[in-house]
Structure 1
């Protein structure tokens, strides 16, 4: 859904003191019942990632790591049935999955007597049963399943959601009998940086010509949209002409300000598509047909 900037800021303000656990979504849904869970989760995730980038250096300082590790060892021994690692992450406002990474990395340094292998660390975070300490394995698992912003589980979910959105887009195009090339087909043709879809015959949406479509399974806020414009959308425009971006989880309505320059924003697949006749110039609006 499209949100006004005022609505977006109200949600952001509510997220400022929330922790990235599953429970935060219950709070957001109760506070904003008219907004979808996917929109609220996407906004919270983007905001928490910004917060983490501002504070991560503090958490990664050697004295902080040692303090967290010694506290974990002490608390795990004193309260073996309590999710102490998850509690510690929430207390210091660090993503549970990132806290698990810090603690397992420190644990491996003790086990191996030096710097741990990144591959071994990543494997243990993806599959906690590989951790030789059963108690730590359980705490890492608790952190992983309770984190809604970071970690291997979140990465898998985000990948699946992104793939699902791209499949939905292709299905919608096929339903309208629109001829297109997807990203994989374009790469086989030698394109190195492409949108998700290139339309072989352009369409018009709300009076704007569209040659390409980009699918984003996220919310379009100021920071992410500006980044996408600079790193992707304008380069697509330069190479392929005007296009359409679908933010499936919504966007700030005021960001849809580049239509006249050739980039249109939507929060769903457009229902008012007008097809262009074959063999006519994409710029000739007189060739539009129903």
Structure 2
């Protein structure tokens, strides 16, 4: 059975509704795949991760209230003192969820780790730690001077399947893997291009992943540049990319192609006439200038 990558908005919304019933655990992906067998696991995971992040951002403010922070911190100190080997932060994060709300499945692991570490690092006069120090300790818990807290932060990092430095590292690696895949596909077609590193070396500050030295045509549309996205293209992310990246590429380099390797909402592919084409894989029907010129030189068949 072929997995679907390009979803209608109705199909996407059905998947989103289903994710609201699931906790963010690795087991939930099997449940999603069983419920939506026609969609690839990578597409379902990308949608789930995007929805998780949206809901976490919507709930984050109430957990950052000063009284809430102090309550969490005192609970942590008490529990960690009584049970030094227990996964105290994991338990606090699970308790911090609100079963009565639509966000009941949010698991606040990285958020709880950040809140407690931030409070731990505060100076005697309430001075806040620098973001650099906080981030470095979240990425490398062994830098935390308190061993029990270091262990608890580490447990949060390895148990959170959608947020945090470990997930960021995995996403970065997957993104690079797909950029390499794109370059390999272009080389297979003998297409001349410049990648992002070459463009930055030439002085460009904001560039797509690929600029074609000789434009191509895909499904009748001219393409000067290609952007690789190892994620699902939903309304929010695509709108953000359009405003922050794609239109600036269009202004500078002309029309281009965006590949959402894990699929996208089909209705978003509505800017073709304005110069932005969406695909969920490397295009197979590429027409090059050389190919077009050869076609023009072919003798007409006799009538």
Of the three residues 69, 72, 82, the one matched with 2:73 is 69
User: Does residue 51 of structure 1 match 2:55?
Assistant: yes
User: Which ranges of structure 2 fall in alignment gaps of 5 or more residues?
Assistant: 98-106, 299-303
What secondary structure is seen at the aligned counterpart in 2 of 1:86? helix
Per-residue deviation, 1:141: 1.2
Tell me what 1:206 maps to: 219
Q: Distance in 1 between matches of 2:218 and 2:287?
A: 6
Output one character per residue of 1:207-231: Cα deviation in whole Å (capped at 9) or x when no partner. 2211110111111000111111122
> In 2, Cα distance between the equivalents of 1:165 and 1:72?
41
- The 1:10/1:78 distance shift into structure 2, 3 A limit, reads farther
Aligned to 1:106: 119
Change over 3 Å in CA distance of 1:267–1:279 after alignment to 2: closer
Counting only pairs closer than 5 Å after superposition, residues 159-198 of structure 1 correspond to structure 2 as 159-198=172-211
Gaps of 5+ in 1: 281-285
Matched pairs, number: 284
Instruction: Quote the residue 1:37 is aligned against.
Output: 41
Q: Distance in 1 between matches of 2:36 and 2:273?
A: 33
Q: Does the 8 Å CA contact 2:223/2:257 hold for their aligned counterparts?
A: yes
Following superposition, the deviation at residue 116 of structure 1 comes to 2.4
Instruction: Please state whether the residue corresponding to 1:277 is helix, strand or coil.
Output: helix
The CA deviation at 1:112 is 9.2
Q: Secondary structure at the match of 1:149?
A: coil
1:89 to 90, 93, 100: 93
Per-residue CA deviation, residues 38-73 of structure 1 (Å, 9 max, x unaligned), is 212211121122112222111111111111112223
Q: Offset at 1:287?
A: 5.9
Post-superposition offset of 1:114: 3.8
Conserved 8 A contact 2:85-2:148:
no
Is residue 96–residue 108 contact of structure 2 (8 Å, CA) maintained in 1?
Answer: no
Structure 1 residue 279 displacement after superposition: 11
Using the size of structure 1 for normalisation, the TM-score is 0.89
Question: For the structure 1 residues 191 and 113, does the alpha-carbon distance in structure 2 shift closer, same or farther, using more than 3 Å as the test?
Answer: closer
Aligned counterparts of 2:196 and 2:133: Cα–Cα separation in 1: 33
Measure how far apart 1:96 and its partner are.
Answer: 0.8
Residue in structure 2 matched with residue 116 of structure 1 by the alignment: 129
Q: Cα 1:34–1:73, aligned 2, differ >3 Å: closer, same or farther?
A: farther
Secondary structure of residue in 2 paired with 1:20: coil
Shift of 1:255: 0.9
RMSD value, Cα? 2.4
Equivalent residue for 1:135, pick from 103, 124, 148: 148
Please state how far the C-alpha of 1:162 moved relative to its aligned partner.
0.9
Alpha-carbon offset, residue 20 of structure 1:
3.5
